[in-house]
Amino acid sequence: MSNEKKEKYYYKWLREHKRITLYLKKEEYEALEKLASKQNMTVRDFLVKFARSADDLHWRGFLDALKMFAENPRGFYNVVRKVYHEGDLAFFEAPCSVCGKPMLFTHRDPNWSKIKSVLLNAFRDWGHKDCIEEKERARLQHSLTHGKELEELKKYLKQSPSLK
């Protein structure tokens, strides 16, 4: 009778415990083993804990990304740009002209090319501070150079006997 109970217990245990076979390279297993031992866990317990907390890790990562976007939008953009290489990347908000609630525009909108055209036109005279300053310096330099050339031309025209 005790053999029957052991046998029944064994089959019950098998029904409640699913077998997973996983093949890893030696280095991969050793890395897992090292992570598990840092937490005083077996590899099995470490993997189970990781699986149970994966959803929390996902949301924690998502919230960290939102925080980075809010606190350091340029840094966030640079990080995302390293991952996302498919053309435009955009997120733009403007108030509705009727109700004032935010309208969101992104690179995923079906009419993005039209939206982008309107935005580029609206910002056509904008630029980085340094770029605008450099453009202004070049314009002034050109004006000064061009102004000197005009003065020299006027002097030449006044002095030239053939043009009188």
pLDDT tens-place string over residues 109-145: 999 999 999 989 998 888 899 998 898 888 877 777 7
**DSSP per-residue codes, 45-57:** HHHHHHHHHHHHH
Residue 41: the pLDDT is: 94
**DSSP per-residue codes, 67-120:** HHHHH-HHHHHHHHHHH--SS---EEEEE-TTT--EEEEETTSTTHHHHHHHHH
Digit-coded pLDDT (tens) for 72-120 = 988 998 888 888 877 788 888 989 999 999 999 988 899 999 999 998 9
Residue 143's φ and ψ, nearest 5 degrees, are -60, -45
